[in-house]
Amino acid sequence: MSADADPHAPVYNAYRRVEEEVLMAVPAGEKQERVLFSYLRYRRHCVQVVEGDEAVREFLGMKEKYKCADALGFHQGPDAPGPRRVTVAESKGNDIDSAVEQLGNAAAGVYEMFGRETAVDLLVLIPTLVEKLGSMSPGGGYRVTPRDTGLNKFILEEWRGGPSVQARPKLTYPKWASWDSKVYSLPITVLKAEGLRFP
């Protein structure tokens, strides 16, 4: 063994192989959800993340099985003064219609719980974008335009053949219907998972 060789390299390499085997056993959707939760913590600096649609439903008090987002990221602690900032996030393949509904219902729940002063950001994490008719698309009926800030971040637009318009969240949970206009005004950010890295 040379003087420059790391004596721990065989252990690190064995650990890395085991870690890769474990990750390979996890379904792709679960891996992407884990990436979403990490993104909220490490890149969005959320101090608390509610993980999984069931946990989000329970946290918001949604009793029925309506569609709901995969995560809520809180940007300040529960005892922090002033209005809250919350990122409502969903991990999705290419069923963007479903994501729009999941984000809308969860955003309404956040307003119901914390009030209209709450700053709500909507985020959908997708594996990649595909080129369709000269535009980048996350899934059928939608395309994206790049955001001014951030790598791999886009604004979601509805596109049904004519001019595209900003995509709007959809609220289907009847108990929170009073928040429809507030939720409808929120833009949806699309984040491409491809190439994201965390500590």
Residue-by-residue DSSP string for 73-117: EESS-TT-SS--EEEEEEE-SS-HHHHHHHHHHHHHHHHHHH-TT
> Beta strand 119-126 with 85-91: parallel, antiparallel or unpaired?
parallel
Q: List, run by run, the mean pLDDT of 10-residue segments along the chain (199 residues).
A: 56 48 57 94 95 96 93 93 95 94 98 96 94 84 87 88 88 96 96 78
Question: Where in the chain are the domains?
Answer: 28-192
Interatomic CA distance for residues 134 and 165, integer angstroms: 16
In this prediction, residue 18 carries a pLDDT of 44
In this prediction, residue 155 carries a pLDDT of 93
In this prediction, residue 16 carries a pLDDT of 46
Interatomic CA distance for residues 105 and 88, integer angstroms: 10
